[in-house]
Amino acid sequence: MQPHIHSKLPHIGTTIFTTMTNLAIQHNAVNLGQGFPDFMMSEELVSLVNEAMKNGHNQYSHMAGLPLLRERIAQKVERLYGTMIDPVTDITITPGGTYAIYTALTTVLQPGDEVIVFEPAFDSYLPNIEVNGAIPILIPLQFPSYSIDWDLVRKKITPRTKMIMLNTPHNPTGSVLSKNDIEQLRSIVHNTGIFILSDEVYEHLIFDDIEHQSILRYPDLYQRSFVCFSFGKTYNCTGWKLGYCIAPPALMNEYRKIHQFNCFSCNHPVQHALAEFMETAQHYLQLGNMLQLKRDYFQQLMAHTKFKPLPSFGSYFQLYRYDAISEESENEFAIRLTQEFGVTAIPVSVFYRKEINNKVLRFCFAKKEATLEQAAERLMKL
């Protein structure tokens, strides 16, 4: 008799990002699907990593992360959000934002707990919840604004509700939370034992002079929250897989119990480089303007196609409707777009548990101008 694995995720297969990227390679398509830049990152930051390696910072770092890097993060939080964060007790460096999110869920969840998740949702959320034996309670964002129906949230709260997951700026839609959203959230969790997990990996990629409503701005919410970030998304180095989580001491103490027996410590020379790079605030403050220019340029190009834009206020992404082009499902149309026209996008339906067909695709505009121009030229043929 051979051993048999009883899958913890029996309904999960290969991610859409892998599938569409493979299809893009096969058909030599312009890949605007997966969320990574195709332009060079900062040469200064690359040099700082090389320098750190040459200076011998190649062994394990501190379990919670390089102390100087955590100090720089705390300084940034105070500068941006007016909140004092203890770099010793409140910050843990992680191998990417997705890991930070998974560890926060694993820290809190017990079998049978319920977690409120807004759909469309980043693809790791539901598997991360279910592998911990918990139950995702799915609430659709209101199409086409992708805003939260807070009255519906109130109806979905039960004695088993353990956590509410938020994502702002939002992937895949580019929507952002407002101050009114924060007030609604406050009223719902007040005098409850509900935790908050706030995915803020695109915190600096926010447009149109909108103020990022980080949970770190609100001390009452922070006391029940895990707030997750990504250096990869901030500094256009997604392949480095480095991020961090911020939480109050009592929560972070439990978080580190999970972290120390999983990753333990993260890339040491990169942490040294980031600590030095962060000393110049302009390195992260200028990012929103840079990506907004790319969003706007892509919109200008797409205006010559039959695709219709939905608003994007942040992230690497903008959604476009194709209902004036085809009646096909989002999956079918995305595949045909790659095969016949040589442009790869992601169907938004894959970010829902049950397939939905709003005839919307997600395009990544964090690309070189030449890449965007090539994609738009091909899309004009539809």
**Mean pLDDT throughout 21-29?**
92
In one letter, which amino acid is 41? M
Residue 61 and residue 65: Cα distance in Å, rounded?
6
Indicate if the pLDDT at residue 21 is higher than 90: no
Under CATH, which number does the domain 16-41+285-379 receive? 3.90.1150.10
Q: Pairing relation of β-strands 114-119 and 225-230?
A: unpaired
Strand 195-199 and strand 161-167: the pairing is parallel
Distance of CA 93 to the CA centre of its chain: 16
Percentage of the chain exceeding pLDDT 90: 93
The CB density around residue 122, as the number of other CB atoms within 10 Å, is 20
Q: DSSP string covering 103-167, please?
A: HHHHHH--TT-EEEEEES--TTHHHHHHTTT-EEEEEEPBTTTTB--HHHHHHH--TTEEEEEEE
Q: Does residue 10 carry a pLDDT above 90?
A: no
- Between CA 291 and CA 346, with CA 42 as vertex, the angle to 5 degrees is 40
What are the phi and psi torsion angles at 314 (to 5°)? 180, 175
pLDDT digits (tens, 9 = 90+) for 242-267: 999 999 999 999 999 999 999 999 99
User: Are 16-41+285-379 and 56-281 in the same CATH fold?
Assistant: no
Architecture per CATH, domain 56-281, reads as 3-Layer(aba) Sandwich (3.40)
Give the number of other CB atoms < 10 A from CB of residue 256.
18
What is the β-pairing status of strands 225-230 and 243-246?
Answer: antiparallel
> Does the pLDDT of residue 5 top 90, yes or no?
no
For 152-164, write each residue's pLDDT tens digit.
Answer: 999 999 999 999 9
Q: Specify the amino acid at residue 57.
A: H
> How many other CB atoms are there within 10 angstroms of residue 244's CB atom?
24
- 269 neighbors 52 (Cβ within 8 angstroms): yes
Q: Would you say residue 358 has pLDDT above 80?
A: yes
DSSP structure string for 125-140: HHHHHHTTT-EEEEEE
What residues does each domain of the chain span?
16-41+285-379, 56-281
Q: What is the pLDDT of residue 14?
A: 74
Torsion sign, CA atoms 24, 28, 31, 37: positive
Average pLDDT of the chain?
96
DSSP line for 14-67: S-HHHHHHHHHHHTT-EE-SSS---S---HHHHHHHHHHHHTT--S---TT--H
